Amino acid sequence: MLELRGITKRFGPVVANDGIDLDVPPGSLHAVLGENGAGKSTLMKILSGFLPPDAGRIRLDGHEVPTGSPRAALRAGIGMLHQDPLVCLPFTALDNFILGREGKIDRAAARGELREVCARFDFDIDPDARARSLSVGERQQLEIARLLSLGVKVLILDEPTSGISSEQRTKLFSALRTLAGEGLIVLFVSHKLEEVEELCDTVTVIRAGRVVGERALPCPADELVELMFGDLVVSSARPPVEIGAPALRVSGLAAGTGRQAITGVDLEVRAGEVVGLAGLEGSGQRTLLRVLAGLEPARAGHVEIDGCSLDGSSYEGFVSAGVHYLPAGRLEEGLVPGLTIAEHLTLAARLSDWVVDWDAARSRAEEAIEHFRIKGGPDTPADALSGGNQQRLLLAMMPEDLRVLLMEHPTRGLDIESADYVWTRLLARRDSGTAIVFSSADLDELVGYADRVVVFFSGKVLADLPAAALTADRLGTLIGGKVAS
């Protein structure tokens, strides 16, 4: 029996896990379901010792499991298969398999053991192949074999089916069923309803860091969708928008590699139109936005802004065509830690002056601070600002005339007031004829602000629908990859 009691974890102001309790009996195939950012991965990382909790206890078969140490968790019998399997790429499969064992290393015995596990579950791993040459699915099989050989009693799988073939998926599921039949606890973390329904016996739904429900499966899909996303308030009070000529036209676009790859993407966005990109994290939205910003090359297809082709153009070419990109990682790829607000605005002004007039720059910064209601002064470093104020600074740094504005998670991590403010600003841009394309994991935001929602699944456009025609159920199931409902 696995028991979690009161697991709580905060990241700054964000409560990722808020007093989570969970009981899972041996032999369970138990799903942990929730939308992006609900706190599933955090919970699993705490359970596997990867992150220390702020509060809470873990017990397995009546014994206290020490928290905050993957080694201690493994010793207690809890092993985790991470979304990106944590194998050492330069090592062979066998070396990876041995890694983490204590005491003397017997390579011959380990080789036999690996062969045995592979034969048992029909895994196809060459012990002497470099991990680098293995596919994601094979790396996953290797990790499962390793964790089993370390004697885990709880096997956690975090989104194990993204990026693996359907054959590997079938093998994975049958292996998990066998293992559960032998009394192992399998915790299956996902936001794909279909898989959870197919594989698991029981499910715990997490929303905003709390457990919002437990169900035995099968159970009606609507019920799970409602648990996952809550009640969706669709605002129909959208003012009619003057929509102009096509500002952005994408045809047959292919780009990115591996999990991030997109293929055959067609999209047209008109001036003054807002298009939301929905989908699971890593379904291709980010790759599309980065290609449209000129930060990643396209493998095939065409991109046009105002009818002018930008194929093969550099980032600077996209910028001068009137494209602006606001990335999700504000401090990672939008702002420069250590530089002040005045310095940021000066950089963003893209002037070609040699000597900077800092008095003028400071007074410009003060204007922007007042205009965008940033809590800080001209000399406040960007990394000392809260997330909301960082986003306001990024808005203040946007050029005046924009044709296309691209955004990733425009309000992620922001409080309601900041999020509203950000959208007020963005809609003002829309009203002046800027085409806006944004990705979001927040269904309220997608339905509430977009004129059209484009749903991505596995690097392809699954649906392109007017937001007014969308309901919570429909969007939720689409995101999970089900077209018909």
Partner 1 sequence: MRRALQVVPALWSVLAALVVSVILLALAGAPPFRALGLVLDGAVGDGGRMADTLMSWVPLTLAAAGLVVTFVAGLWNIGVEGQVIAGAIGATWAARTIPGEGFVVIPAALAAGVAAGALWALAAGVLKTRGGVNEIFGGLGLGFVAQSLATYLIIGPWKRAGIASTSGTEPFREEVWLPTVGGTRLSPVAVILALAAIAVVWALLRGTRFGLRLKAVGANPASARLLGVPTEATILRAFALGGGMAGLAGAVLATGIQHKLVPAIAGGRGFLAILVVLLAAYRIVWVVPIALFFAILSVGSAQLQLRLDLDSSIGGVLQGILVLFVILIGGWQALHRRDAEEP
The residues that touch partner 1, with contacts defined as CB under 8 A, are 54, 295, 315-316, 319, 325, 327, 331-339, 343-344, 346-348, 350-356, 358, 397
Q: Say which residue the tokens 């002046």 belong to.
A: 432
Q: Say which residue the tokens 């830690």 belong to.
A: 337
Q: Could you tell me the smallest distance in angstroms from the CB atom of residue 353 to partner 1?
A: 6
* H or E segment to which residue 415 belongs: none
Dihedral of the alpha carbons of 449, 453, 459, 462, in degrees to the nearest 10: 160
Nearer to partner 1, 106 or 333 (CB): 333
Q: Could you tell me the smallest distance in angstroms from the CB atom of residue 74 to partner 1?
A: 24
The dihedral region occupied by 437, where left means phi > 0, alpha psi between -120 and 50, and beta the remainder, is beta
Nearer to partner 1, 353 or 400 (CB): 353
- Bridge partners (DSSP) of residue 207 are 210
Nearer to partner 1, 102 or 354 (CB): 354
**Do strands 185-190 and 29-33 pair parallel, antiparallel, or not at all (unpaired)?**
parallel
* H or E segment to which residue 455 belongs: strand 452-457
Nearer to partner 1, 200 or 396 (CB): 396
3-class secondary structure, 178: helix
Evaluate whether 253 touches 265 at the Cβ level (below 8 Å): yes
Q: Could you tell me the smallest distance in angstroms from the CB atom of residue 407 to partner 1?
A: 13
Q: Could you tell me the smallest distance in angstroms from the CB atom of residue 319 to partner 1?
A: 7
Dihedral of the alpha carbons of 132, 135, 140, 142, in degrees to the nearest 10: -60
Nearer to partner 1, 15 or 348 (CB): 348
Residue 354: C-alpha distances to residues 346, 351, 362 (Å): 12, 9, 17
Q: Could you tell me the smallest distance in angstroms from the CB atom of residue 464 to partner 1?
A: 28
Nearer to partner 1, 57 or 177 (CB): 57
CA-to-CA distance for 31 and 98, rounded, in angstroms? 29
Nearer to partner 1, 275 or 335 (CB): 335
CA-to-CA distance for 281 and 285, rounded, in angstroms? 8
- Bridge partners (DSSP) of residue 288 are none
Evaluate whether 46 touches 206 at the Cβ level (below 8 Å): no
Q: Could you tell me the smallest distance in angstroms from the CB atom of residue 331 to partner 1?
A: 8
Evaluate whether 302 touches 311 at the Cβ level (below 8 Å): yes
CA-to-CA distance for 42 and 17, rounded, in angstroms? 7
* Exposure on the CB side of residue 40, measured as CA atoms within 13 A: 27
Nearer to partner 1, 89 or 384 (CB): 384
Q: Could you tell me the smallest distance in angstroms from the CB atom of residue 159 to partner 1?
A: 25
Q: Could you tell me the smallest distance in angstroms from the CB atom of residue 437 to partner 1?
A: 16
Q: Could you tell me the smallest distance in angstroms from the CB atom of residue 6 to partner 1?
A: 17
Two structure tokens written together for 440: 């979001």
Outline where 123-192 has alpha helix (H): 136-149, 166-181
Nearer to partner 1, 208 or 356 (CB): 356
